[in-house]
Amino acid sequence: MQLPEALTLTTRLIDTGEKHEDYNRVTELAETYNIYITGLGMEKKLIQYVPREDAVMFAQRMRLTKAITPAVAASIRTPFNKVIRNDRIRKDIKIENEARKQAVTSMMQSYYGSKRKKNKGLENWLKTRFVELQFSDPNAWVVVEWTAASNPGQAVQPRPFEVSAEWAVNFKVVNDETKWLFVRQPITFQSKTPQATASTGTPGTANATPGVVQPAQENVKNQGYRFTLYDEDVTVVYEQADPEYLKANPLKEGETTVEIKNLTYIVRAYTPMVGYPPVMRVGYKRDEATKGRTYVNPWHDALCFFDKSVKTVSELDISMTQHAFPQKIMYVHKCQGISREKRCNGGRLQSGEQCTACGGSGYKIHTTGMDALLLPMPESKDDVLDLEKLIAYKSPPIELVKFQNEYVQQLKQEAHTAVFNSQALIKKSFQTATENDNNFQSIYDALEPFTEKLSEIWREHVILFGIIAGEKDADSIDTTHEFPADYKLKTSDVLLGERKIANESGAPPFLVEAIDDDLAGITFAGDELSLQKYRVKRRFYPFMGKSSDQVAEAVASEFVPKAAKILYFNFDAIFKEIERETPEFWLLTDFNKQRALVDKKVQQYIAIVDAEKPAMTVNPLGDTNPLGNDGGEGGGNPGENDDPGTGGAGNNQNDGNNNEGQQ
């Protein structure tokens, strides 16, 4: 819309206080999510059971309750945090003008964070704030703001402006395309007079009396609002101000004032020249309660289990505090008092004062490990008391506490199942490969809409940066941001189990290699050099993916080259020598150079082995008796069951002549 229309719409929205139809729903959801995520304000979720609890007991229950919802919410969010760190995300930006492409890259790097903290850039915003908003406020918006460059050579630095569901009071969306967004943002503005809260309805200062205008003062800060309309053609800002303050501080160029309901606003207008509102919705999981007009957070389906856990955990905490401890029952003496003159009578002295010997209890009880219960020695053995019967410790029944604790654990598992349709992330082991694959496939199915939304937000930012840099429209910018099908969430235990099953089932070597790669990614997480060494070694390993039996068969085969066998048996030694002689070997980008170094070292080892191999001595056949039937003593080839001392192999020897068939 044009500027006059935008001004008219903004004035009307401020005057009427008009909100979108789902405003109460989205703000209540944001409050609920933040309570469960942070644990702050949990008393709003505890319900007082009036027939059994008065106000005092309910207040005590609130003090004793330690909610588990923050831990459950954090555990559910872990896979979402992890999937973003996948190093196989495919990204690409295609802009014909190289200078504009460099400008887009610069905007992406300066979008969020600070150089000092080394957390700058669009990628870091997506890894932190985008994920946090998905869970705490999915109906929030992110607005891309920037200041126009003062000269042609100056770089533009866009920045994110996060608009909560509470601030986004109205918007218009047609066919999933945002036409405009209206934001009400609380601000503090300079004034000479504190505002009266009763007549205006605007928050006043702490020392202001409702309905009474205070005498003029200097440097007073009042609470007000800034209203902003983000349209496809223009951005309009109405910022509350004090007219008395404006008299001493004139307006800047391009600013005007307007009065709405006896309040003064400074009006500013901007023309982003983007062609559409520079705003993006954060959420991706549509709210069925609003027919998809708004969004819920990723674990909204488990909200019922969060609600149940609050009550259950509260009752468990009370049971553990007030009942789940041993009770001591014992016979004790009545307190005799401090002295003969100050005798104790039920905890009180004759003067009415409290007995200090028993503390007012009326009984003499030992209170520390230094005390002892002293009994007079009986005159007869018939008067001896069984000491075991003097004191008894009674343990309370724990069935209820055990049930409550198991129920809490069940609620945690049910919450995970509601979100991921699987408990694979909270199980310590799995039973079968098929079951495990199905579990993780369900998790990947739950994560896919999230990754699609993240890719969409990334592409929207890049396209917007390109238009800011000078591209005519979105069609001239080609962007790619795609997650791999495998999010790499499996643990090392799961992967080891899969590897074992793959080997036992005779799976092809390339499948085993893929599992080994996933294991290496977990083992060397955070250690880029070690991961690079693994990748290089994997490239040269001669029998990668083969089982031990297959390797033994290959080593014995005449169809396997000698170089592969030498490399296999001397693998670690060869690479240690290469690393010592060429430290930069692991970081070489030319594979042919790496291969030349490995081949050279293998040939050196082949020469060493050939030089050290002992020569074989071959006897002429005429000097041997391969059949073992020669009769000479000490000569020939011993036959079966022969006496080693005889040397011959004949059946029966008679003067060197064999008698066939005779025994």
Instruction: Please give, one letter per residue, the 3-state secondary structure of 344-405.
Output: CECCECCCCCECCCCCCCCEECCCCCCCCCCCCCCCCHHHCCCHHHCEEEECCCCHHHHHHH
Which residue in the block uniquely carries the two structure tokens 């309309």? 229
- Does residue 202 register a pLDDT over 60? no
Task: Provide the pLDDT confidence category of residue 641 given band limits of 50, 70 and 90.
Answer: very low
Q: What is the pLDDT of residue 397?
A: 65
DSSP state of 234: -
**pLDDT band at residue 579, thresholds of 50, 70 and 90?**
very high
Residue 485 and residue 179: Cα distance in Å, rounded? 34
Highest mean pLDDT among 205-214, 551-560, 607-616: 551-560
595 versus 333: the higher-pLDDT residue is 595
Coil/strand/helix, residue 121 = coil
Contact 191, 221 (CB under 8 A): yes
Residue % of the chain over a pLDDT of 70: 77
Alpha carbons 368 and 391: distance in angstroms, whole number: 16
Q: Which amino acid is at 478?
A: D
Find the mean pLDDT for residues 174-178.
Answer: 93
pLDDT above 90 for 345: no
Q: How far is CA 196 from the centre of its chain?
A: 47
Q: What is the mean pLDDT of residues 123-136?
A: 95
The two three-digit tokens of residue 620, written as one number: 């002429």
Residue type for 414, please?
E
pLDDT digits (tens, 9 = 90+) for 277-307: 999 999 999 999 999 999 999 999 999 999 9
- Residue 372 CB contacts under 8 Å (≥ 6 apart), including other chains: 366
Residue 581 pLDDT greater than 90, yes or no: yes
> What does the pLDDT read at residue 173?
95
Q: Which burial class, exposed, middle or buried, applies to 216 when counting CB atoms under 10 A from its CB (0-12, 13-18, 19+)?
A: exposed
Cα gap 522→531, rounded to integer Å: 10
Predicted pLDDT of residue 419: 93
- Mean pLDDT along residues 555-581: 91
Is the pLDDT assigned to residue 275 strictly greater than 60? Answer: yes
CB atoms inside a 10 Å sphere around CB 385: 10
DSSP character at residue 130: I
Q: In which band, very low, low, confident or very high, does the pLDDT at 391 lie, cut at 50, 70 and 90?
A: low
Terminal-to-terminal C-alpha distance of the chain? 122
Q: Which value, to the nearest 10 degrees, does the dihedral of the CA atoms of residues 8, 10, 14, 20 take?
A: 120
Q: Reduce the DSSP state of residue 99 to 3 states and report it.
A: helix
Helices marked H in 220-327: 243-248, 303-322
Kindly state the average pLDDT of the residues 69-89.
89
Helix (H), strand (E) at residue 496: helix 492-504
Q: Return the pLDDT at 137.
A: 97
Rounded (5°) CA angle 349-354-359: 120
Phi–psi pair at 294, nearest 5 degrees? -130, -170
Which residues, including other chains, have CB under 8 Å from residue 296's CB and lie 6 or more apart? 29, 138, 283, 285, 286, 287
pLDDT at residue 615, rounded to an integer: 57
Name which of 183, 170, 186 is nearest 240 in CA terms: 186
Distance CA 637, CA 300 (A): 86
The residue with greater pLDDT, 486 or 215, is 486
Q: Which tens digit of pLDDT belongs to each residue from 222-266?
A: 999 999 999 999 999 999 999 988 988 889 988 999 999 999 999
Q: What is the DSSP letter of 128?
A: I
- Residue-by-residue DSSP string for 283-294: --EE-GGGTTSS
Give CA–CA dist 60/318, Å, rounded. 9
Residue 418 sits at φ, ψ, to 5 deg, of -65, -35
Burial of 515 (0-12, 13-18, 19+ CB in 10 A): buried
Mean pLDDT of 537-551: 82
Sign, CA dihedral 79-84-88-92, equals positive
Phi/psi-derived region of residue 291, left when phi > 0, alpha when psi is between -120 and 50, beta in every other case: left
Q: Which of 268, 202, 199 is nearest to 239 (CA)?
A: 268
CA atoms of 394 and 630, how far apart (whole Å): 95
pLDDT, residue 585, reads 92
Dig out the tokens for 349 from the structure.
């002295």
pLDDT bracket for residue 371 (50, 70, 90)? low
Q: Which of 252, 227, 265 is nearest to 6 (CA)?
A: 227
Burial of 23 (0-12, 13-18, 19+ CB in 10 A): middle
Q: Is the pLDDT of residue 558 over 60?
A: yes
Give how far the C-alpha of residue 660 lies from the chain's centroid of Cα atoms, to the nearest Å: 88
Residue 432 pLDDT > 60: no
Contact 440, 434 (CB under 8 A): no
> Closest by alpha carbon to 350, among 361, 366, 339?
339
Quick one: pLDDT at residue 453? 96
Residue 613 to residue 606: CA distance in whole angstroms: 11
User: What is the spatial distance between Cα 491 and Cα 234, in angstroms, rounded to a whole number?
Assistant: 51
Q: How far is the C-alpha of 297 from the C-alpha of 450, rounded, in Å?
A: 10
Question: How confident is the model at residue 210, as a pLDDT?
Answer: 44
Token representation of residue 144: 């891309």
Q: Which two tokens stand for residue 461?
A: 């930012």
Task: Evaluate whether 407 touches 414 at the Cβ level (below 8 Å).
Answer: no
Cα within 13 Å of Cα(75), Cβ side = 19
Look at residue 637 and tell me whether its pLDDT is greater than 50: no
- CA nearest to 169, candidates 22, 9, 2, 287: 22
d(CA 492, CA 521): 10
How far is 496 from 109, CA to CA, in rounded Å? 39
Residue at 142: amino acid letter:
V
What 3-state class would DSSP assign to 63?
A: helix
